[in-house]
């Protein structure tokens, strides 16, 4: 059976034209949000981290470079909002043995760029950001350093910044990934 790619919705990373940065966004507030998101993940504040996402959220970690269409090829993670919630429920049970005990993590976010805006289904425009990261993971089996590029889409909801979309492209994603704890 061959998959007809013309029947798939647009790829989430290229859906819609990238337009100018929407008005009302300041680089510093965007950076502070990205730092907060990283801190919540690093400190295993799963409730806080999950609360950052919008109801129409999408979290994608492709395999093998930038990734093919995530509905046509396997990804490390391709979660909608419901799946993000399910993943957090699993982590909160304490029975996610790949993370028992949880890794000690610290992320460094840098090279933050406001790339532009993308129209969303509600008719407004979300802010698209690119940033590089280094994540240091310490576990009993040893230390691992992860690096890559993240694309975020942010939206202001009732005056608060929320996370609509996150795509993490690991610098070495063509290799086997021994643990995904740092990705939550």
Spell out the domain ranges in the chain: 17-183
SS3 183: helix
pLDDT tens string 119-178: 998 899 999 999 999 999 988 888 989 999 999 999 999 999 999 999 999 998 877 776
Most confident of 65-69, 76-80, 100-104: 76-80
- Architecture (CATH level 2) of domain 17-183: Roll (3.10)
DSSP letters along 31-61, please? HHHHHHHHHHHHTT-HHHHHHTEEEEEEEEE
Q: In what order do the strands lie in the sheet with 125-139?
A: 75-80, 53-62, 160-170, 142-157, 125-139, 104-119
Can you give the pLDDT at residue 169? Answer: 92
What pTM does this model have?
Answer: 0.87
User: Residue 8: what are its φ and ψ, rounded to 5°?
Assistant: -85, 150
Helical ranges in 56-145 per DSSP H: 81-92
């Amino acid at each position: 059976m061959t998959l007809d790619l013309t029947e798939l919705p647009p790829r989430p990373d290229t859906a819609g034209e990238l337009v100018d940065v929407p008005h009302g966004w300041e680089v510093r507030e965007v950076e502070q949000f990205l730092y907060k998101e990283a801190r919540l993940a690093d400190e295993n504040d799963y409730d806080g981290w999950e609360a950052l996402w919008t109801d129409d959220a999408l979290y994608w970690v492709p395999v093998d470079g930038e990734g093919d269409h995530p509905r046509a090829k396997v990804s490390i993670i391709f979660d909608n909002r419901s799946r993000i919630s399910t993943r957090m429920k699993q982590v909160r049970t304490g029975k996610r043995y790949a993370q028992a005990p949880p890794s000690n993590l610290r992320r460094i976010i840098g090279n933050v760029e406001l790339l532009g805006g993308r129209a969303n289904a509600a008719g407004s425009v979300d802010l698209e950001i690119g940033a590089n990261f280094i994540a240091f993971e310490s576990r009993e089996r040893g230390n691992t350093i992860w690096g890559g590029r993240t694309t975020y889409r942010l939206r202001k909801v009732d005056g608060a910044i929320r996370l609509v979309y996150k795509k993490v492209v690991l610098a070495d994603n063509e290799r086997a990934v021994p643990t995904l704890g740092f990705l939550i």
